[in-house]
Amino acid sequence: MTTPITTLRATLAAALVDDANWQTFAFPPPVVLANSVIIVPDNPYITPTNNTRIEISPTANFKIIVTVPLFDNEGNLNRIEENVPPYLLNFVSLIWLTWWQTSRPLLR
């Protein structure tokens, strides 16, 4: 049986599919590949709320990891910045995002 959170994660991944430019994963892959978008659970993964005691409505938090080929720092940043508008455009029909709710890219 597929849970609503699994369906949500798959829906997020489906909204980001662009086979011509990057690979999309709805789960952490065994090997991280360059030019890919990975949907992973964030911390905290699930935040329970009781919606002012009307109903239980948990919030699921996901992190979108964008990987690019290994260039120098400026090359990596430029590639991420080139890909961000298409990622966000793919989300427009699915969810509403604001820049102040997204975090800056973290390169590790």
DSSP 3-state helix, strand, coil percentages of the chain (rounded to 5)? 30, 25, 45
Q: Going by C-beta distance under 8 Å and a sequence separation of 6 or more, which residues neighbour residue 91?
A: 15, 16, 97
Q: Each residue of 12-71: pLDDT tens digit?
A: 888 888 888 889 999 999 998 888 889 998 888 888 877 666 777 778 888 888 887 776
pLDDT at position 30 is 93
Indicate the pLDDT class of residue 108, thresholds 50, 70 and 90: very low
pLDDT at position 58 is 78
What is the pTM for the complete model shown?
0.68
Residue ranges per structural domain of the chain: 4-101
pLDDT at residue 92 above 80? no
